[in-house]
A and B are shown apart, each in its own frame.
Chain A
Amino acid sequence: KAGVTQTPRYLIKTRGQQVTLSCSPISGHRSVSWYQQTPGQGLQFLFEYFSETQRNKGNFPGRFSGRQFSNSRSEMNVSTLELGDSALYLCASSFGTYSRDYGYTFGSGTRLTVV
């Protein structure tokens, strides 16, 4: 069974630009969560989408947004990029229900570098 696919793997952008990252979850999974990983900060929760609706949101500015499509694929957008946005962005896929979800399957991430 195919895993979680994130594209692109690497990205270099200039301050002020905007960027879109993509995540395709495991087939049958309806929930996609996004995390930001920076050195020493662990995994910071950005938001979660379930059935095309944002269900949970972390403590990030409005420059960070996302959406989910009817096939459960998700995109994350960051506008007006800042140097501090340089990080590994991870997508995690799950069924999205209380009784069936005890963990996530992660993609390999997109390494974003802002220069």
Chain B
Amino acid sequence: DQQVKQNSPSLSVQEGRISILNCDYTNSMFDYFLWYKKYPAEGPTFLISISSIKDKNEDGRFTVFLNKSAKHLSLHIVPSQPGDSAVYFCAASARSSGSARQLTFGSGTQLTVLP
């Protein structure tokens, strides 16, 4: 059972326009959400996060929105640049066994920004 879902495997956007990447989750115990960006042959790098007590977090061109009632979050990139072309993973965090936190990842969305 996939607890974090990214239903769009790919997205193409024109340079300068807005990119919107979506993510849905099912586990109500998740209290922290993150987006990672991954280039080929590299490990994912942290992009932006949001706590469940907020509904929006902004960092430069990147904004993450959280809708807890819908169990949905989205990442907005404005304006999109060709260098943003990468796979974006949504991840959710909750306390797991012991005193640990564990990340659960979605399957990723390949974003292509066209010049």
By a beta-carbon cutoff of 8 Å, the part of chain A in contact with chain B is 4, 6, 31, 33, 35, 40-43, 45, 48, 50, 55-56, 88, 90, 92, 94, 96-98, 101-109, 111
Query: In B48-101, which residues have CB < 8 Å from any A CB?
Result: 49, 89, 91, 93, 95-101
9 further A-B pairs in the complex, CB-CB below 8 A; given A40-B107, A56-B100, A92-B43 = A6-B43, A42-B89, A45-B102, A50-B98, A55-B97, A56-B102, A103-B93, A104-B46, A108-B41
Asked if residues B101 and A98 are in contact (CB atoms below 8 Å), the reply is yes
Residues of chain B contacted by A42 (CB below 8 angstroms): 6, 89, 105-108
Asked if residues B41 and A109 are in contact (CB atoms below 8 Å), the reply is yes
Asked if residues B99 and A97 are in contact (CB atoms below 8 Å), the reply is yes
Asked if residues A43 and B101 are in contact (CB atoms below 8 Å), the reply is no
B111 proximal to A (CB < 8 A): no
- Kindly state the separation between the CA atoms of A74 and B96 in the bound complex, as whole angstroms: 21
Q: How many residues of B contact A (CB 8 A)?
A: 29
Residues of chain B contacted by A56 (CB below 8 angstroms): 96-97, 100, 102
- Kindly state the separation between the CA atoms of A108 and B97 in the bound complex, as whole angstroms: 27
Q: How far is the CB of B3 from chain A (nearest CB, A)?
A: 11
Q: Can you give 5 A-B contacts (C-beta < 8 A)?
A: A40-B9, A43-B89, A55-B98, A98-B95, A106-B44
Q: How far is the CB of B40 from chain A (nearest CB, A)?
A: 9
Residues of chain A contacted by B105 (CB below 8 angstroms): 35, 42-43, 45
Residues of chain B contacted by A48 (CB below 8 angstroms): 100, 102
| Other-chain residue from A50, A55, A98, A107 in contact with B43 (beta carbon distance below 8 A) | A107
Which of B42, B95, B102, B108 has the most C-beta atoms of chain A within 10 angstroms of its own C-beta? Answer: B102
| Other-chain residue from B42, B89, B108 in contact with A108 (beta carbon distance below 8 A) | B42
Residue of chain A at shortest CB distance from B4:
A42
- Kindly state the separation between the CA atoms of A50 and B103 in the bound complex, as whole angstroms: 15
- Kindly state the separation between the CA atoms of A48 and B98 in the bound complex, as whole angstroms: 12
Asked if residues A102 and B9 are in contact (CB atoms below 8 Å), the reply is no
Asked if residues B42 and A96 are in contact (CB atoms below 8 Å), the reply is no
